[in-house]
Amino acid sequence: MKNTILLFCICLYAQGQAQEFNGQELKQLDGLGLVVENFDMSDQGIKSDFANILWLDKKRRKRKTLGTILTATSVIFSAMGVLSLAQEDPHAIAEIIGVLALGQGVLQGSATIPLFKSAKKQKKRRNKLIRKYNKEFEKQLKSK
């Protein structure tokens, strides 16, 4: 029983250490200017940094996408609220719906600010790690 548990623990440890990147992750790293073949992938620090770069980039894209969607819906709700309030003779229910839509638009718009700030922060952290391994990345950023 002890041997089985020990073998299981060793397999779990080996599973955690054997981090290989799939084709899609390699393409993403290549798109960021990191050619994996140029680095010693037996070094756990490099593997960890590359995995962190991919994780930060994924997190940044998700937050930026969510922020963009919330911004669009914020504009739509705000416009609906303003239009329903701008009627000549609004009914009480239309006025309530207009106020609620306008409030919803404002709330969604204000919720996008932290999302975009967080996406920018993730991008800075990602770029800092990329600069560690790609000295020409700095030149690419300056030329854009």
Per-residue model confidence as pLDDT tens digits over 110-134: 999 999 999 999 999 999 999 888 8
Lowest mean pLDDT among 75-79, 112-116, 127-131, 136-140: 136-140
Say if residue 4's pLDDT is above 80.
no
Residue-level pLDDT at 15: 45
Residues 102 and 81 sit within 8 Å (Cβ to Cβ): yes
* Distance, CA of 6 to chain centre: 38
At residue 21, the pLDDT reads 81
- Taking residues 88-93, what's their average pLDDT? 81
Which residues, including other chains, have CB under 8 Å from residue 34's CB and lie 6 or more apart? 50, 53, 130, 133, 134
Q: Which ranges in 18-136 belong to alpha helices (H)?
A: 23-31, 44-85, 92-133
Question: Does 143 score more than 80 pLDDT?
Answer: no
pLDDT of 136: 62
The Cα–Cα gap between 78 and 106 comes to 7
pLDDT at 25 over 80: yes
Please say whether the beta carbons of 63 and 122 come within 8 A: yes
How is the chain split into domains, by residue range? 69-144
Sort 56 into a burial class: Cβ within 10 Å, 0-12 / 13-18 / 19+: buried
- The mean pLDDT value of the chain amounts to 84
Residue 102: per-residue pLDDT? 94
Contact (Cβ atoms closer than 8 angstroms) between residue 25 and residue 58: no
